[in-house]
Amino acid sequence: MNRPSTPPQNTSRGAGAMPDFRPGRPGAGPNARMNVEKPKHMRKTIARLLRYIGRNGMLLVVLLFFMLMTTVVDLLGPMFQQLAIDTIKVADEGLSIDLQALFTYLTIMGIAFVFGALMNLCQSLLSAKLSQSTIYAMRSDLFRKISKLPISYTDSHRHGDIMSRMTNDVENVSNAVAQSVTTLISCVITIVGALVMMIYYSWELTLITLVTIPLSITVSTLLGKFMRKYFVRRQKLLGQLNGQVEEMVTSYKTVVAYGKESEAVEQFRQVSDQLRKSSISARVWGSIMGPLMNFIGNLQYVAVAVLGGFMMLTGRRPLTPGKLQAMLQYSKKFTMPVNQVANQYSAILTALAGAERIFEIMDSDDEIDAGTCSLCREDMRGAIEFSDVHFSYVPGEPVLRGFDLSVKPGQKIAIVGATGSGKTTVVNLLTRFYEPDSGSITVDGISIADIPKEQLRRSIAIVLQDTVLFCDSIRQNILYGRLDADEREVRAAAAMANADRFIERLPESYDTQLSEAGSNLSQGQRQLLSIARAVLADPKILILDEATSSVDTRTEMRIQQAMINLMQNRTSLIIAHRLSTIRDADVIVVLRDGVIAEAGNHDTLLAAGGEYAKLYSNQFAGVAT
């Protein structure tokens, strides 16, 4: 659909659009400016993620049970090792070993380790299931939300960035749920269990271990605040890069036609280089956290070993070699969770940055639909009334100024005017893709604001200049107009649209599979399929937006005949640049700067010598010459 003079930014273009390579454009080249900041709602994002995880309550409970069992077995290991070591005693009479007790403890340890391995396997399987169930719910909610977004949102956001949130960001959250969340829960259980066992063995050595905790928390907090911005920037740049790739692919023919391959490659290189630098910074700072925590943990380990050895040698505390060994292991297990969280910190930050971007879309306003007045399509006549309609895409830059138009049922109304005069905006408002700033629009005397959008749009069919076809069979593309139609109705619609002849010449006829956007068909054939779809929808109001402007004259004649068949007994709004296609319109409305400059039929407007006559003479001056 052609954009008006002041449309919202839509940087994702169709195949015939030209990518904008200006370096200063947002999202293009080295001058692109990114907001580098930490997530604005970290706690809120974490809380929402936890609510998604909590949807699988029973699965989470079972997972927690297996995690508890795994952690308990892991914590019992040092205790049995202590008992096994202390079966070896050194006395004045020499070395003595209680072999039976040693064998018993070693057997218990072996059974515990096998049991722990099985519990760990079950934990991994349940963790994967929890992760995928959580992400399935999040991805479904996100896609459902995208389907309810207003047209203005998709017009003003890069399509590739939206796709990046659905793919990359969701995948990062999935990885975090599968690994980091279970790690965090396991760490909490391990810390509590290890602390209890350390106090049981030696409260003095426990105090030495606890001294390093404030240091670890301080370092991780300060470094985390510094790191966070790099991960947010990386996710934004990744979305920008995906948008650029999507734009390049959809506009590839235009890029090649204008010889802009090198500019496109250079633009990609610049953005990719920014992403590379940002990713390196994020990875470097993310990697620093783990070694720092390990260093602090090793300091604590050495302190416990030195003090424990001193206590054992001086006899100030009855501490056996086995107990000292157990204490060292428990101190390691106490600090190990902190190191694990530190090592997972980069993944957690990436996931939170992605989750926040996902929730940004989910928190966007849905398309407004306050319609409560039911409109039966069978009883609809198709009378349309625009009354003093004002509208602007950008505040302060009006596109329509007091637009008035009355259309009787079954009338054929043509809307013409220079580019940016507001022609397509009229269609956008009628279909409620956008809401007017003021004024009213009615269908059969009912305000369209009171009609549910689904009912309103099911009563309107649109045939655009840029046809929209799906990667499916020709039959399914026609059926998109009305999914419950039978084979006879599909073929009748194709015949009425003059599409049956070329379809039946294809090797697989109606079962022919279309490639993306129907690129394995000609422009005219794609347009005929679009008309067949509209025929099958059987609308009461028909909108033809530049439906023949991109085809040759011979194909235009076939499409014109198909449109004549389609427009019978229907209220039709025709937007056209080729004035030859609208000579038989009941009323031709000439728009200029958002207002109706003049209106009448073809002969009347030519005789008046006004705006329409100028457009007509300018268009056919070359032909006359």
b or e along 296-316 (b: 16 or more beta carbons within 10 Å of the residue's beta carbon)?
Answer: bbeebbebbbebbeebbeeee
- Per the CB < 8 A criterion, the answer to whether 434 and 152 are in contact is yes
Exposure letters 201-225 (e unless 16+ CB within 10 A, then b): bbeebbebbeebeeebeebbeebbe
Lowest mean pLDDT among 159-173, 220-234, 545-559: 545-559
Per-residue three-class SS string for 505-569 = HCCCHHHCECCHHHCCCCHHHHHHHHHHHHHHHCCCEEEEECCCCCCCHHHHHHHHHHHHHHHCC
Q: Cα separation of 18 and 509, whole Å?
A: 34
Q: What is the mean pLDDT of residues 362-389?
A: 76
One-letter amino acid of 610: G
- pLDDT: which is higher, 403 or 625: 403
pLDDT above 80 (res 306): yes
> How far is residue 438's CA from residue 11's CA, in Å, rounded to a whole number?
28
DSSP 8-state class, residue 585? -
Mean pLDDT of the chain: 76
3 state DSSP class of 340:
helix
Model confidence, pTM: 0.61
pLDDT the model gives residue 444: 83
Cα 209 to Cα 78, 303, 400, 508, distances in angstroms: 17, 8, 72, 75
The whole-number pLDDT of residue 548 equals 60
Q: Half-sphere exposure of 182 toward its Cβ, with a 13 Å CA cutoff? A: 28
Residue-wise pLDDT tens digits, 457-483: 888 888 777 777 787 788 888 888 878
Structure tokens at 203: 């409260």
| Cβ proximity of 255 and 248 under 8 Å | yes
- The reported pLDDT for the residue numbered 625 is 38
> Rounded to an integer, what distance in angstroms lies between the CA atom of residue 469 and that of residue 148?
21
- How far apart are alpha carbons 251 and 243 in whole angstroms? 12
Query: Backbone dihedral region of 447: left (phi > 0), alpha (psi from -120 to 50 degrees) or beta?
Result: beta
- Show the tokens assigned to 486: 């039978």
Whether 131 has a pLDDT exceeding 70, the answer reads: yes
Q: What percent of the chain lies above the pLDDT cut of 90?
A: 0
**Positive or negative torsion for Cα 308, 311, 312, 313:** positive
Higher pLDDT, 177 or 6: 177
Q: Cα 76 to chain center, whole Å?
A: 46
**C-alpha torsion sign, points 414, 419, 420, 424:** positive
Which run of H or E residues covers position 101?
helix 99-148
Please tell me which of 203-217, 297-311, 485-499 the model is most confident about, judged by mean pLDDT. 485-499
Give CA separation, 398 vs 386, 389, 392, 394, in Å. 16, 11, 4, 7
Model confidence at 416: pLDDT above 60: yes
Lowest mean pLDDT among 8-17, 326-335, 592-601: 8-17
DSSP 379: G
Contact 231/350 with Cβ under 8 angstroms? Answer: yes
Per-residue confidence band for 40, with pLDDT thresholds at 50, 70 and 90: low
SS3 397: strand
Query: What residues are paired with 460 via a beta bridge?
Result: 541
Task: Report the alpha-carbon distance of residue 241 to residue 233 in Å, rounded.
Answer: 12
Q: For residue 533, which amino acid is it?
A: R
